[in-house]
Structure 1
């Protein structure tokens, strides 16, 4: 255990369950409610992060059809959870509007190679804390990350809090939402990327890697780190050295440490 404490981590040790118990209601500009309002929002050009429907109601066929066509995640919840979002007449349907427009990863990869740049992609595996996500986005934009990749399900909500915490960085860094991260990682490997997971399971420290190559870095969730399936696809698993008694770094801090080792190597080595 002592060796584990001092050898490095990939996630923050944050407890997302505690966080969500304390979270306040979303800002009203982050969501729309009511069946027809949700339908029209789906049909518009707005990006939708997810749709929350009351699970006891069976009258959402059009919403579900439109959501499937656009690849928008749907979550079925009890009435009580919807009422915690808004006490107005939501009719069992709420759509969370994203603060960013999603980009296509393949386009970004192609454009980066065409410009003669060495691509750097950051993949977040189920990072759910909105403030962590915002801080990570800020570090990613400042360190020159070409694309930030999130899973369609299980990621942080891209709302006003995320934009505020990012200090506006989400206006500048491309964000890609992918249905299956396994397929995304496989695509990047086939495109010439090395896949590097920052994890406490790593055999070497992050300083041992060569990040002057096209690189995709995976950071894991606050609760249980990187999924085993993604670790298995990684070309390297690296860890951050820790000298104190606390076992983990916050995921946003760990991400910044990892990204700025890439910057150091690409700019100064």
Structure 2
């Protein structure tokens, strides 16, 4: 990560309004929840999930692409890919193993009647929220080893929701409860600086020139 001095140097190049916005948004970011999409081939769906993560303050997003590697749709994400940290994986089990090493419980989303209703889900533990396709859902691999399954209550004839809609509903509910709780959900100072540096790096087209300017100052 960049030095505190270099971060301060870059921040001073922002407009006061932009600097204030960065500081406001970083205070609402969390790694208490992270979102994982598994083999979602429709690019607009993955991109819309990324956008929802940015809106609700989720900093880290994991994209599993076992079958096909595709490019995130920049237009649909509407720039959100600049502000969230995108982690790409080519194997579901390896992704789960890494998340568990990082202290996350694995939470699968499923319409299964035995799943816990969203409103009853215990938010106290750091959780990785797995989302699958609207048609096929999550793989049996993920469902079989998940620590818990959650579902969105539905009372209509339709039994499934588009993945991006599901993500928005789940994140709005869980992050709203999280911010009202006494859980320590905020990023650490180290993580705040690391994330802010990435935001700053992506904000300047002449970033390499700025590095040289700082080193020679």
TM-score range, shorter chain: 0.5 to 0.7
1:146 CA displacement: 2.2
* SS of equivalent to 2:44: helix
The structure that is helix-richer by fraction is 2
**Alignment correspondent of 1:173:** 84
Conservation of the 8 A alpha-carbon contact between 2:66 and 2:92? no
* SS of equivalent to 2:95: helix
Q: Decide whether aligned partners of structure 1 residues 207 and 171 sit closer, same or farther in structure 2, where only a CA change above 3 A counts.
A: same
1:187-266 to 2 correspondence within 5 Å? 187-201=98-112, 202-266=114-178
1:64-75 to 2 correspondence within 5 Å? none
* SS of equivalent to 2:175: helix
1:191 CA displacement: 2.7
TM normalised by structure 2 equals 0.64
Alpha-carbon distance between aligned partners in 2 of 1:186 and 1:232, rounded to the nearest angstrom: 14
Tell me whether 1:157 sits opposite 2:96 in the alignment. Answer: no
**Alignment correspondent of 2:39:** 126
1:206 CA displacement: 1.2
Q: Which moved more, 1:219-228 or 1:149-158?
A: 149-158
Alpha-carbon distance between aligned partners in 1 of 2:161 and 2:148, rounded to the nearest angstrom: 20
Indicate the structure (1 or 2) with the bigger Cα radius of gyration.
1
Conservation of the 8 A alpha-carbon contact between 2:31 and 2:58? no
Tell me whether 1:147 sits opposite 2:35 in the alignment. Answer: no
Deviations 1:83-105 (A, max 9, x none): xxxxxxxxxxxxxxxxxxxxxxx
Alpha-carbon distance between aligned partners in 1 of 2:117 and 2:158, rounded to the nearest angstrom: 18
Unpaired segments ≥5 residues, structure 2: 1-29, 182-217
Conservation of the 8 A alpha-carbon contact between 1:163 and 1:170? yes
Conservation of the 8 A alpha-carbon contact between 1:130 and 1:156? no
Q: Decide whether aligned partners of structure 1 residues 131 and 118 sit closer, same or farther in structure 2, where only a CA change above 3 A counts.
A: closer
Q: Decide whether aligned partners of structure 1 residues 167 and 139 sit closer, same or farther in structure 2, where only a CA change above 3 A counts.
A: same
Q: Decide whether aligned partners of structure 1 residues 125 and 152 sit closer, same or farther in structure 2, where only a CA change above 3 A counts.
A: closer
RMSD: 1.8
**Alignment correspondent of 1:185:** 96
Q: Decide whether aligned partners of structure 1 residues 214 and 171 sit closer, same or farther in structure 2, where only a CA change above 3 A counts.
A: same
Deviations 1:127-161 (A, max 9, x none): 111111121111011112121111243367325xx
* SS of equivalent to 2:48: helix
Unpaired segments ≥5 residues, structure 1: 1-116
TM normalised by structure 1 equals 0.52
* SS of equivalent to 2:51: helix
Alpha-carbon distance between aligned partners in 1 of 2:131 and 2:78, rounded to the nearest angstrom: 21
1:220 CA displacement: 0.6
